Amino acid sequence: MEKLLRLTLGLGMLATLALAGSPAHAVSAAGPYYAPPSWDQTLPAATRFIVLTNMNSEAVLDRETGLVWEQSPSTAPGIWFNASIYCLQLNKGGRKGWRLPTIQDLASLIDPTVASPGPTLPAGHPFSNVQSSLYWSATTDASNSALAQVVFFVNGDVLVGRNKNNPGFFAWCVRGGPGVDPQ
């Protein structure tokens, strides 16, 4: 019985490794990066964010949420529709499957202790070219589909009811998560 149990456990571990691949070679930080999201924890930036070398260092895993973000978001502002299309067509790190983040996804990056003028990201984050400005979310206003919610990275505010035709907001694409507009 003990041999059967060891064999079953060993086969289970081999199957897990086969499905997971060899993640140790895919990150620029030590340790596994495939841990489940830790929404109940506050991780320091040094362990929270992992630059994914298997994606040409063009993507960053957020271990608190399980989401993968562009390491360097677009620096060209545009209207909401164009931001959404930009993410849908994006090929970063040799991968497709990017989307405009929900308001909750985007707000999860905010560190409320960072003072204006931002960007209001945790100290030691690995991102570059993040503007101290407004970023589109996929979340539309529940009462008016011509309006969207945005995050203001100058002070970390989440703002509702912004006209989707405003050309001055930025896109920051993400992979993973539910990818739905929860409103």
Q: 78 has which bridge partners?
A: 169
Confidence band, pLDDT 50/70/90 cuts, at residue 86: very high
Q: Encoding tokens for residue 128? A: 């570059």
Alpha-carbon gap, residue 144 to 104, rounded angstroms: 19
Domain boundaries, the chain: 27-175
CB 125 within 8 Å of CB 164: no
pLDDT of residue 134: 98
Q: Architecture of 27-175 per CATH?
A: Roll (3.10)
Burial of 14 (0-12, 13-18, 19+ CB in 10 A): exposed
pLDDT at 38 over 80: no
Q: How many CA atoms lie within 13 A of 22 on its CB side?
A: 1
Alpha-carbon gap, residue 2 to 27, rounded angstroms: 37
pLDDT of residue 42: 82
Cβ contacts of 177 within 8 Å, gap of 6 or more: 65, 66, 67, 101, 102, 105
Q: What 8-state DSSP symbol labels residue 172?
A: -
Q: 141 has which bridge partners?
A: 144
Q: Encoding tokens for residue 171? A: 């896109």
pLDDT greater at residue 39 or residue 63: 63
The average pLDDT across 142-147 equals 94
pLDDT at 154 over 70: yes
The average pLDDT across 2-17 equals 35
Residue found by looking up tokens 């409320």 in the block: 112
